[in-house]
Amino acid sequence: PRRLVIDTDPGVDDALAILLALASPEVEVVGLTTVFGNASVELTTRNARAVLAAAGRTDVPVATGAAAPLAGAYAGPVPQVHGADGLGDGGLGFPQEPALASTVAAAEFLWRSAQGHPGELTILALGPLTNLALALRLHPDLPRHVAGVVIMGGNALVPGNANPCAEANMLGDPEAGDVVLGAPWPVTMVGLDVTHKAVLPGAAIARVTAPDRPANRLLAAALPHYRNFFERTNGIDGIYLHDPSAVAYVVAPHLFTTAGWPVRVETQGMSRGKTWPCLGDTDDPAPAAWQGRPTVRVAVGVEGDQVAALVEDR
Ligand code: BDR
Ligand code: CA
Q: What is the 3-state secondary structure (H, E, C) of the chain?
A: CEEEEEEECCCHHHHHHHHHHHCCCCEEEEEEEECCCCCCHHHHHHHHHHHHHHCCCCCCCEECCCCCCCCCCCCCCCHHHHCCCCCCCCCCCCCCCCCCECCCCHHHHHHHHHHHCCCCEEEEECCCCHHHHHHHHHCCCHHHHCCEEEEECCCCCCCCCCCCCCCHHHHHCHHHHHHHCCCCCCEEEECHHHHCCCEEEHHHHHHHCCCCCHHHHHHHHHHHHHHHHHHHHHCCCEEECHHHHHHHHHHCHHHEEEEEECEEECCCHHHCCCEEECCCCCCCCCCHHHCCCCCEEEEEEECHHHHHHHHHHC
243 ligand 1 Cβ < 6 A: yes
Q: How far apart are CA 308 and CA 235, in angstroms?
A: 18
Å from CA of 11 to ligand 2 middle? 6
167 ligand 1 Cβ < 6 A: yes
155 ligand 1 Cβ < 6 A: no
Candidate list 9, 85, 173, 193, residue with the active-site label: 9
11 ligand 1 Cβ < 6 A: yes
For residue 9, indicate whether it is catalytic. Answer: yes
Per-residue model confidence (pLDDT) at position 285: 79
Per-residue model confidence (pLDDT) at position 92: 80
For residue 242, indicate whether it is catalytic. Answer: yes
Alpha-carbon Rg of the chain, whole angstroms? 18
Å from CA of 285 to ligand 2 middle? 36
Å from CA of 284 to ligand 1 middle? 35
- The residues whose Cβ lies within 5 A of ligand 2, an ion, are 9, 11, 14, 126-127, 243
Per-residue model confidence (pLDDT) at position 98: 62
34 ligand 1 Cβ < 6 A: no
102 neighbors 65 (Cβ within 8 angstroms): no
Å from CA of 299 to ligand 1 middle? 16
Per-residue pLDDT of the chain (314 residues; tens, 9 = 90+): 899 999 999 999 999 999 999 999 999 999 999 999 999 999 999 999 999 999 999 999 999 999 999 999 999 999 999 999 999 998 888 876 667 888 899 999 999 999 999 999 999 999 999 999 999 999 999 999 999 999 999 999 999 999 999 999 999 999 999 999 999 999 999 999 999 999 999 999 999 999 999 999 999 999 999 999 999 999 999 999 999 999 999 999 999 999 999 999 999 999 999 999 999 766 677 899 999 999 999 999 999 999 999 999 99
Q: How far apart are CA 35 and CA 289, in angstroms?
A: 28
Q: Cα–Cα–Cα angle for 164, 285, 153, nearest 5°?
A: 30
Ligand with smallest separation from the Cα of 170:
1
Q: How far apart are CA 294 and CA 264, in angstroms?
A: 10
Query: Which of 35, 47, 87, 126 for mutating ligand 1's site (highest number of atoms within 8 Å of CB)?
Result: 126
Strand 296-302, strand 256-261: pairing: antiparallel
Q: What's the chain's length in residues?
A: 314
Please report the ipTM that was assigned to this predicted complex.
0.99
What residue's CA is closest to ligand 1, atom 10? 168
Query: Which of 242, 245, 247, 265 for mutating ligand 1's site (highest number of atoms within 8 Å of CB)?
Result: 242
Does pTM top 0.95 for this prediction? yes
Å from CA of 286 to ligand 2 middle? 32
Using CA atoms, how far residue 104 sits from 110, 173, 281, in Å, is: 10, 22, 46
Q: For all residues of the chain together, what is the average pLDDT?
A: 96
